Amino acid sequence: MARASSTGAGLLLGLIRDGEAVTRSDLVRLTGLARSTVAQRLEALLQHGLVYEAGGSASTGGRPPTLLAFNEGAGVVLVADLGATHSRLVASDLAGAPLAEVALDLDIARGPELVLGAVHERFTELLRDIDRRPGDVRGIGVGVPGPVAFHKGEPVNPPIMPGWDAFPIPAWFAERYDAPVLVDNDVNIMAVGEHWTQWRDAAEMLCVKVGTGIGCGIVVDGHIHRGAQGAAGDIGHIRVAGHDDVICRCGNVGCLEAVAGGRALAARLSEAGLPASNSRDVVGLVRGGEPLAIQAVREAGRYLGEVLATSVNFFNPAVIVIGGDLAEAHQQLLTGVREVIFQRSLPLATGDLRIVPSRLGDRAGAIGAAVMVTEHVLAPDAVDRALQTEVAA
């Protein structure tokens, strides 16, 4: 259906960012707006520093037209990809390119006040490192290891985040920065990072994170699919046949996560005499050539493959990216996944299907969060609103 979408400055900025328009004439031609209207709106973008004039181009005669370019340096965004025990913080420009970053050990179970306090401290340091001020911050992004009500920016009953349920993360940052705050789960921001930087042409993609738990980010038509309650992609609690004796922390039996997640594998290997307490230990054992560990990860790949085969028949993605701590042992895991998907899914759906390891590794989430925030604050409607506010002030 028709939408009366932006015809304001935001639309012009979008055309300039995409490289579709490099001159005033391009803007007039592409939008159908009057030249005077284009000039007026462009002036607002120039004053705001979002666009700059790059001088004349080589011309076939007459006065060369002034070229227009997007100014990625017009502000910065700050993002934090918070894991259960490790976090990565990044300050990026408005094109989503990292300018400074830091990884730190941070136990999410210490609760929101302590954790966000530490994040804010590091944000301040990052800004200082790149010689920018809090007033330059145009947006903030936070990823957390649990379900999130995206529109409110609040965690929803996150099992491994005591004290965070319904905590208003955007309000906490609003007292410190004058910028919009987006909160999403760690798997969705990872999916955005992988999609945006590696698979932009794939309209439909799944990005699976296999660590302590197991989750999946779903990309439809280039955008994250969150579902009716923001619960989409929660594949860790899909039942795997033949494991009704395995009780999951969710209260059900035979969940994928309880059978093939990092914690489950570590427990099983420990019982078998190979001490391991998390995904990283399991990966260490695989790298050390322990046959039992190799077998366990391969088997985990097969169970993951069973669930993904179902998702392939249901959703028909073009690409499945496998990432997360356990995926560091990716040869074994990927082989198990591929084995079952190609056996179980329909030829039409698997003919061109690519099943690949994550390329960004543990930076995927932070990069994805930065992209999500820049796309949000530079969306045509958001730019229209921001510039009108300035005019009114």
Residues that bind its own copies (CB under 8 A): 1-8, 10-11, 13-15, 17-18, 20, 30-34, 37, 147, 156-157, 202-204, 216, 218, 220-221, 225-235, 237-239, 241-242, 250, 252, 306-307, 309-311, 313-318, 344, 346, 348-349, 351-353, 375, 380
Tell me the C-alpha distance between 238 and 260, whole Å: 11
Write down the least CB distance from residue 311 to its own copies, Å.
6
Question: Taken in order 260, 321, 330, 161, is the CA torsion positive or negative?
Answer: negative
- Is the Cα dihedral 273, 279, 284, 290 positive or negative? positive
CA distance 393 to 389: 6
Q: How far is the CB of 266 from its own copies (least distance, A)?
A: 24
Q: Which one, 219 or 364, has the nearer CB to its own copies?
A: 219
**Residue whose CB is less far from its own copies, 203 or 274:** 203
Which of 292/353 has CB closer to its own copies? Answer: 353
The single-letter DSSP state of residue 315 is H
Closer Cβ to its own copies, 52 or 315, answer by number:
315
From residue 332, alpha-carbon distances to 298, 328, 329 in Å are: 5, 10, 6
Q: How far is the CB of 349 from its own copies (least distance, A)?
A: 4
- Nearest Cα neighbor of 108 from 54, 162, 150, 29 is 162
237 versus 363: smaller Cβ distance to its own copies: 237
CB 271, min distance to its own copies, A: 25
Structure tokens that stand for 370 in this block:
């930065």
Contact 130, 99 (CB under 8 A): yes
Cβ 201 to its own copies shortest distance, Å: 11
In the bound state with its own copies, the residue whose beta carbon lies nearer, of 74 and 318, is 318
Residue 87 DSSP SS3: strand
DSSP, res 345: S
What's the token pair of residue 250? 């969710």
CB of 270 to its own copies, least distance (A): 28
Find the shortest distance in angstroms from Cβ 149 to its own copies.
10
Is the CB of 1 or the CB of 58 nearer to its own copies? 1
- Residue with Cβ nearer its own copies (339 or 375): 375
How crowded is residue 112: how many other Cβ atoms within 10 Å of its Cβ?
20
Residue 311, burial from CB neighbour count under 10 angstroms (0-12, 13-18, 19+): buried
Query: 9-17 vs 35-48: helix axis angle to the nearest 10?
Result: 70
CA 135, CA 105: separation in Å to the nearest integer?
A: 28
Q: In angstroms, what is the minimal distance from the CB of 391 to its own copies?
A: 15
